[in-house]
Chains A and B, each alone.
Chain A
Amino acid sequence: MPEVKKYDAIVIGGGHNGLTTAAYLSRAGKKVLVLERRYILGGAAVTEEIFPGFKFSVCSYVVSLMKPIVMRELMLPKFGLELLPLESTFTPLDNDYLIRTADPDETYREIARHSLRDAEAYMRFGPLMGQIGMAVRPILETIAPNAIRPSLSDLFAGKKLLNHFKSLTSEQFEYLTKLMAMSSADFLDEWFEFEPLKATMSASGITGTLMGPRSPGSAYVMLHHYMGDIDGSFRAWGFQRGGTGAVSMAIARSAQYFGADIMTEAPVEKVIVKNGKAVGVALENGDEYTSDIVISGLDPKLTFLKMLDESDLPSNFVTDIKNFRIRGSSGKVNLALDGLPDFTCLPGEGHHLRGAITISPSYDYLERAYDDAKYGNFSQEPYLDIILPSVLDPDMAPPGKHVMSCFVQYAPYNIKGGWDDKKREAFGDAVINALARFAPNIKDVILHRQVLTPADLESTFGLTEGNIFHGELSLQQLFALRPAVQWADYTTPIRGYYQCGSGTHPGGGITGSPGEMAAKKILSKW
């Protein structure tokens, strides 16, 4: 006899956004159940001890866009949110390097070593991007409207946005337009001349996206990354003590504090729909839970095409969801190390190891890496965004040992012939070789290595096609179009069924924002 229990709301998926929605609904006094398929919470923001003593932020590895209001309202610092600063961005080169730090004098001096002009331009670029970020932020903080049949609150919010856009300076408007339309390479060429600086800056325009730095539209993704906000300072990325899983756990504890029930190893099979309305969920083990409201934190493909039957949905909507671009483009290599990498261009320890280390020596390097992916191969010489969590937080590894996180691009989901063990290892080797070019000792200090291809990200974490953002952050998939027109306000064609994952506005990254706004939308209609 299957167990039946009634909740006010059920959240499918214990990722950080699902947990955020659950925490907000619980905070409003609703009885909420979170159902997580895996043994551990966090979704892609998860910390796991992959090798004994070595803890990894297995997928998502930095925090930048965590919304301040979410941190405050859910009291996350009380529940374990501790964001340590990532102090620098270090780009090793064959005979030199580039390092940018939090200190303006040091950064000026370092860039000036390569180009005096760039050093000056850089001083103006940051504040300008901050201003542009300010211009975009109200969009990110507005619940996306139903563009076909706007509600009264949609119209009100739309008017507010319109007024906001009227208040922009002509400079903000000019750059906003450029960022919407241009490639990150073209955009940065207007500002800088030193190639490794431009390439490194452009790399944030390709993250999680199957585009190269010269692909139009990549500039917007760069802006999205520029809005990183810790303690109100833009472009301040942080590392969560204990890994990104500790962010998810802080949200989970907050949700539990407000009264939510959370179950792990509870995979949902289907959303139960009766007369066009969601009434509960059925687990794979046959258990059923009923509730007035069901919310999916999964990506749009799973939310609609797996949790529901296509026949329950309008056919044009099904087409939109099928066309939603969710091409996985990245992989992850996690290393357990016996010692620190030693860079030929800047030997020894130093604060260059306390921040991001990025293998992005030139546009051509990145664009060639993209070319491989375009034709169905992983990059032979991939772009790497590396951090050494154990340098920032020694508890991540046994004393004297280290963990290294390598975000790798490109690794297309649709690789020729499909991913298999042999390709996974070859991909891992390419990553190590790309790093060894600049830090030759790396091969000698690796104790263990975990290689995650987009296929692994899909099978382990339920990220369709391995896309880390639940769908690319390209313009046609943002705001009122994320994930589909008319259904960008967290509602769905099924009454009582809502969505709250990164596939909704404002998109991916550890932000808590989709989860928060979905909860606020649900509560406004309750």
Chain B
Amino acid sequence: MSYNKQFNAETQLKLSPFFDRTSKLNESQEWRRWSGYLSATNYELTHENEYFAIRTKAALLDITPLYKYLIEGPDAQRFLDRLVTRNINICKVGQVMYTPWCDEDGKVIDDGTVQRLSERKFRITSAEPNLEWLEHNAAGMDLTISDDSVTTAAVALQGPNSRDILNALSSDSLDSLKFFWMMDTMFNNIPVSISRTGYTGDLGYEIWMDPNDALFIWDLLLEKGKLYGITPTGLQALDIARIEAGLILLDVDYISSRHAIVESRKSSPYELGLGWAVKMKKKYFIGKQALEREVTRGPEWEFVGIEIQWTELENHYRNVGLAPGLPSTAWRTSTPLYYNHEQVGYATSGAWSPILKRYIALAHVKSAFAVEDTKLQFELKVEHFRKLTAAKVVKTPFFDPERKRSCPR
């Protein structure tokens, strides 16, 4: 799909190469925008079946709107190692690394995955366009950067049955493909790349392909997947799953430092719970100096999991004669968190977890209040009135099944 010269009569937004199928499957005709694409909110009238497909069957999601860039050349490894906070020098061919990247002040610009396609070739995915930043930092290096956003289409197949479906299709078995590794294989003689990655915190894969093969692959997956409960899945179900997995979302849980118009909107990796992905032993990466200072000082904010406590929540509703009101979908409204009636943070996304039966949220809190089990108060609106209700800091991911990482023997 290229940028159309003429405006499309159906929509001014971009259409994914899977649109021919997804538009017909979308019974609700509810769409969201994702990077300028029309992207299904949910395919059925409610998202519940799609959510449970992620956790109990296999969910098929069109993830083509991700921005993708190919970095190729003798300096590709050196370039990426300077760019991101993870150690790309130890990334083997066929390995994938999740990583944030920062500006010189150590504030996060974006986060995504780096795939090592060959010794000298990488693909990096991002939530926002990053070509300008990549090119800006490639000055004087022997490499080429190409925008792969429309030249590669992708779907995610997520859920416990995802491996079985792919094994039924693939020329090579996926049994030994480890978490955050990828392989090239064939579906009916069509080459695809499969990475064991995803945005659900479950067993799952992402399949990368030529857009010209997109419809064929989609049909094949649905056909073979039928026996395993494959379910086209929209963003609403995904949003709950990614919160359960404790995975952050740009422009919801944080703002890119390239677009934050005031300093206070920017976040360091430490402030986003991504300290584990910052490899301070690396000689250099963009933002390292600033982050060294932050490590010495300790970050001002931290990003934590929050659980809203059931009993008090239930009481608030009982007081007005109602059964507990729970959000049916994930929410993205910044919601204040208090400690002793003083605001010490804010939750940026939250959901009732149908699999855990817990009301969970992801939140920014001042570091002093980020310790596990800290008791906070969460602002809740009950029958138009604001209440404070008990919440506590808990470990993320909220949901972390064994199958996410395990391989069959």
The interface of chain A, by Cβ under 8 A from chain B, is 96, 103, 105-106, 108-109, 112-113, 116-117, 119-121, 123-124, 127-128, 130-131, 169, 350
Instruction: Let me know if A105 and B5 touch, CB within 8 A.
Output: no
Instruction: Let me know if B12 and A120 touch, CB within 8 A.
Output: no
On chain A, the residues within 8 Å of B33 by CB distance are 105
From A96, A109, A131, contact of B14 by CB (8 A): A109
Tell me how many residue pairs across A and B have CB atoms closer than 8 Å.
Answer: 43
Complex Cα distance, B31 from A105, in Å, reads 15
From A112, A124, A350, contact of B3 by CB (8 A): A112
Tell me if B44 counts as interface (CB < 8 A to partner A). Answer: no
On chain B, the residues within 8 Å of A96 by CB distance are 5
The interface of chain B, by Cβ under 8 A from chain A, is 3, 5, 7, 12-14, 33, 35-36, 129-132, 135, 147, 258-259, 261, 263
Least Cβ–Cβ distance between A120 and chain B, in angstroms: 4
The 6 A-B residue pairs whose C-beta atoms are closest, nearest first, are A105-B36, A113-B3, A120-B132, A120-B129, A106-B12, A127-B261
- 5 additional A-B pairs beyond A103-B12, A112-B3, beta carbons within 8 Å, are A106-B12, A108-B36, A109-B13, A116-B131, A116-B147
Sample of 6 A–B contacts (CB below 8 Å): A105-B35, A108-B129, A109-B12, A116-B129, A119-B129, A124-B258
Nearest A residue to B34 via CB reads A105
Q: From B12, B33, B130, name the one whose CB has the most chain A CB atoms within 10 angstroms.
A: B12
On chain B, the residues within 8 Å of A103 by CB distance are 12
Known: A123-B259, A124-B258. A350 touches B129 (CB 8 A): no
On chain A, the residues within 8 Å of B259 by CB distance are 123-124, 127
Complex Cα distance, B132 from A302, in Å, reads 52
Nearest A residue to B132 via CB reads A120
Least Cβ–Cβ distance between A110 and chain B, in angstroms: 8
Nearest A residue to B130 via CB reads A120
Complex Cα distance, B8 from A113, in Å, reads 14
On chain B, the residues within 8 Å of A105 by CB distance are 12-13, 33, 35-36
On chain B, the residues within 8 Å of A112 by CB distance are 3
Known: A105-B36, A112-B3. A117 touches B261 (CB 8 A): no
Main secondary structure of the interface of A (DSSP, over half): helix
Least Cβ–Cβ distance between B71 and chain A, in angstroms: 15
Q: From A96, A109, A121, A350, name the one whose CB has the most chain B CB atoms within 10 angstroms.
A: A109
Instruction: Let me know if A117 and B135 touch, CB within 8 A.
Output: yes
Instruction: Let me know if A131 and B147 touch, CB within 8 A.
Output: no
On chain A, the residues within 8 Å of B129 by CB distance are 108, 116, 119-120, 123
On chain A, the residues within 8 Å of B258 by CB distance are 124
Complex Cα distance, B258 from A96, in Å, reads 31
Least Cβ–Cβ distance between A344 and chain B, in angstroms: 13
Q: From A119, A121, A128, A131, name the one whose CB has the most chain B CB atoms within 10 angstroms.
A: A119
Nearest B residue to A96 via CB reads B5
Complex Cα distance, B129 from A130, in Å, reads 21
On chain A, the residues within 8 Å of B5 by CB distance are 96, 113
Known: A103-B12, A123-B259. A109 touches B131 (CB 8 A): no
Least Cβ–Cβ distance between A64 and chain B, in angstroms: 21
Q: From A96, A105, A169, name the one whose CB has the most chain B CB atoms within 10 angstroms.
A: A105
Least Cβ–Cβ distance between B103 and chain A, in angstroms: 12
Instruction: Let me know if B131 and A350 touch, CB within 8 A.
Output: no
Complex Cα distance, B7 from A112, in Å, reads 14
Nearest B residue to A99 via CB reads B7
From B13, B132, B135, B261, contact of A131 by CB (8 A): B261
Complex Cα distance, B33 from A103, in Å, reads 12
Complex Cα distance, B34 from A105, in Å, reads 9
Least Cβ–Cβ distance between A130 and chain B, in angstroms: 7
Nearest A residue to B38 via CB reads A105
On chain B, the residues within 8 Å of A123 by CB distance are 129, 259
Instruction: Let me know if A109 and B3 touch, CB within 8 A.
Output: yes
Complex Cα distance, B33 from A155, in Å, reads 51
From B12, B130, B132, contact of A121 by CB (8 A): B132
Instruction: Let me know if B3 and A117 touch, CB within 8 A.
Output: no
On chain B, the residues within 8 Å of A121 by CB distance are 132
Nearest B residue to A118 via CB reads B132
Nearest A residue to B133 via CB reads A120
Least Cβ–Cβ distance between A270 and chain B, in angstroms: 52
Complex Cα distance, B14 from A288, in Å, reads 68
On chain B, the residues within 8 Å of A350 by CB distance are 7
On chain B, the residues within 8 Å of A116 by CB distance are 129, 131, 147
On chain B, the residues within 8 Å of A108 by CB distance are 36, 129
Least Cβ–Cβ distance between A345 and chain B, in angstroms: 10
Q: From A112, A121, A131, name the one whose CB has the most chain B CB atoms within 10 angstroms.
A: A112
On chain A, the residues within 8 Å of B263 by CB distance are 169
Instruction: Let me know if B36 and A109 touch, CB within 8 A.
Output: yes
Complex Cα distance, B3 from A106, in Å, reads 11
Complex Cα distance, B248 from A321, in Å, reads 61
Least Cβ–Cβ distance between A217 and chain B, in angstroms: 27
Known: A105-B36, A109-B3, A127-B261. A117 touches B132 (CB 8 A): yes
Complex Cα distance, B131 from A121, in Å, reads 10
Nearest A residue to B37 via CB reads A105
Complex Cα distance, B130 from A120, in Å, reads 8
Complex Cα distance, B147 from A119, in Å, reads 13
Complex Cα distance, B260 from A128, in Å, reads 10
On chain A, the residues within 8 Å of B131 by CB distance are 116-117, 120
Complex Cα distance, B36 from A128, in Å, reads 22
Least Cβ–Cβ distance between A79 and chain B, in angstroms: 35
Least Cβ–Cβ distance between B136 and chain A, in angstroms: 10
Complex Cα distance, B12 from A73, in Å, reads 40
Least Cβ–Cβ distance between B229 and chain A, in angstroms: 34
From B35, B135, B261, contact of A130 by CB (8 A): B261
Complex Cα distance, B263 from A169, in Å, reads 10
On chain B, the residues within 8 Å of A119 by CB distance are 129
On chain B, the residues within 8 Å of A117 by CB distance are 131-132, 135
Complex Cα distance, B261 from A120, in Å, reads 15
Q: From B5, B14, B130, B132, name the one whose CB has the most chain A CB atoms within 10 angstroms.
A: B132
Least Cβ–Cβ distance between B105 and chain A, in angstroms: 11
Complex Cα distance, B210 from A97, in Å, reads 30
Least Cβ–Cβ distance between B145 and chain A, in angstroms: 11
Nearest B residue to A104 via CB reads B36
On chain B, the residues within 8 Å of A106 by CB distance are 12-13, 36
